[in-house]
A and B are shown apart, each in its own frame.
Chain A
Amino acid sequence: MNSVFVYCELEDSQVAEVSMELLTKGRALATELKCKLEAIAIGYKLDGIEKDIIPYGVDVLHIADDKRLVPYSTLPHTSIVVKLFQEEKPQIALMGASSVGRDLGPRVSSALHSGLTADCTSLVIGNHEDKKLNKVYENLLYQIRPAFGGNIIATIINPDCRPQMATVREGVMKKTILDPKYKGTINKLDVSKYVNDTDFVVEIIERHIEKSKVNIKGAGIIVAGGYGVGSKANFDLLFELAEVLGGEVGASRAAVDSGYVEHERQIGQTGTTVRPKLYIACGISGQIQHRAGMEESAQIIAINTDPEAPINSIADYVITGDVAEILPKMIKYYKANTK
């Protein structure tokens, strides 16, 4: 049975969060399909990297270790992944929907003529009956994602082409170590057989990657603002409430696009997925891409001037009114009741 494959993204020889989440999901899919889970780590000085990867239940870890492979660059990584997929013929391949995975994934799919579905929010195994061909495809990967501005949820399948490729954003899947002592094998690749000198035409002359400073993923309470907050100044009220409650400030894409707050606070399909115990949505209409990133919050308070706002349909409490009027009251009565 052909394997499930995960591309492990590395930054400073550390496995990216999203890759650990995908290894966890990949393990579950491989177990269901009764096949092996394989992974590839491409970088430099990767001795010991297996300790961070195999415990997720990886049966075969391929390692490409070469000075020229860091930092990430499209062409050499594409060459390695394409050749390895041609050899190993995985049935499913998963990558992070990060700036690396979204750069690499389409390139690989184009080279292999395989289907790729971006930014999936759910991956499920299922059958498909093609009535025209009178053919049943068993155990396909259902790649489920919002599309069309989030107004539809599409289930995408790749009946004939392999691997079935999907990218998934950080935080969408949960990460769990399967067994710290899991027995997997290591296959060190002879890099020179996988890359060409012409793969190194792009030269990286400057690079500043910051560790994410804002930790909205880990926050128990999130006060999030949308376009309806109206201004950067009004966002200060959200920061104030978040500070008082011991939470973080999040935002919808519309608020980030309007420049009210920085991109790393964006919640939703194209941002971070969060599951806090309390989510206070301020001036957020609640397009599905946003809801996809927060609807699993334990409790949701929606504050909006529009009583028909879509966010209200998933809220536990709906307050119809102006954010600038309501937030100061929340701060005031929180303080009054905790004295």
Chain B
Amino acid sequence: MKGYKIIVLAKQVPDTRNVGKDAMKADGTVNRAALPAIFNPEDLNALEQALRIKDKFPGTTITIITMGPSRAAEIIREGLFRGADDGILLTDRAFAGSDTLATSYAIGQTLKKYGKYDIIIAGRQAIDGDTAQVGPQVAEKLGIPQVTYAEEIKAINNGVLTIKRRLERGVEVVKCPMPLVVTVNSSAPDCRARNAKLIMKYKHAKTISEMQVSNDDYIHLYNDRPYLNIKEWTVQDIEVDMNELGLNGSPTKVKKVENVVLQSKGAKVITSSDEDIDQLMRGLIENHTIG
């Protein structure tokens, strides 16, 4: 059955949307370590678009590529539970401190090593940085076209994708030939839930580093069932110029980081009583703020 080779680029991110009280330090700043690590939300929208192509063209394979620390293998498993076929965890100390450009270089080199692909799909942006840069930067590194702000991959005919884009003030439908990079908005459909059968199939899927520390009884499984091996690639596995990686390869440097400290400017506290609201509205009318 005809299918396509799809790569989904995904990132494990701290859940910055839910900064609860336990994630706040006494000085009013955020304790980043206390935030849960999640599958970047728009990358899940991207995965769903890939899965819909696989629904239509069952010969399709979906490979998740993520760059991050060892624990980022969690999101590859999450993707396998939802219908992806395999994954590559790109992990190496040499990647530490990479800005978006150095990240796109590492991912670009990984894809060149990976070989043939038809469609690369990623979330538009990650919630820890909100930059929306890595997708287009990867496309440029690979010298292939990009379609950003995608909401729906509507059709694929003769190697040409028809894609609906959701822009700030409207919609656009474009046609673009493979191979290409598509970045998907949060306005696209949510990702389907985990599939019980796939959870059973992949619950022991691990990277080599995870196998080494897990010391479990399933070790024989990895020879019998190769699909349980999540590929783990380091700089040794891809061809790279070390000067292009990590801090060295990042044109942007962080000069200063200020933690946001919440200080009150001395607001007037009023109650929801009729008297207080009456007085507030009268005050605003008198000083010509309203009315």
Contact = CB atoms under 8 A, between A and B. Distances in A.
Given A221-B290, A310-B262, A151 B16 contact: yes
Given A147-B128, A209-B167, A310-B262, A333 B282 contact: yes
A105 interface: yes
Contacts of A159: 253
A154 B169 contact: no
Contacts of B29: 151
B251 A74 contact: no
Interface in B51-69: none
Contact of B172 (A116, A204, A315, A334): A204
Interface in B132-168: 132-141, 145-149, 162, 165, 167-168
Given A107-B136, A158-B253, A152 B258 contact: yes
Q: Secondary structure at chain B's binding surface: helix, strand, loop or mixed?
A: mixed
A338 B291 contact: yes
Interface in A203-247: 203-212, 221, 245-246
Contacts of A337: 278, 281-282, 285, 291
Interface string B239-263: 0000000000011111111111011
A99 B147 CA distance: 11
Interface residues of B, number: 80
Contacts of B285: 334, 337-338
Contact of A155 (B130, B187, B255): B255
A299 B145 CA distance: 47
B290 A245 contact: yes
B267 A333 contact: no
Given A153-B260, A204-B173, A316-B268, A99 B167 contact: yes
A277 B148 CA distance: 36
B258 A106 contact: no
Contacts of A269: 130
25 contacts: A99-B165, A103-B146, A106-B131, A107-B137, A109-B251, A115-B101, A115-B252, A128-B255, A148-B128, A152-B260, A154-B258, A155-B255, A157-B252, A159-B253, A202-B147, A204-B174, A209-B169, A210-B170, A211-B169, A245-B290, A257-B186, A302-B267, A321-B272, A334-B290, A338-B285
Interface of B: 14, 16-17, 19, 21, 29-30, 32, 99-101, 104, 127-141, 145-149, 162, 165, 167-177, 186-187, 250-260, 262-265, 267-272, 274, 276-278, 280-282, 284-285, 289-291
Interface of A: 71, 74-75, 78, 98-99, 102-103, 105-107, 109-111, 113-119, 128, 142-143, 146-161, 201-212, 221, 245-246, 254, 257, 263-264, 269-270, 277-278, 287-288, 298-299, 301-302, 308, 310, 312-322, 325-326, 329-330, 333-334, 336-338
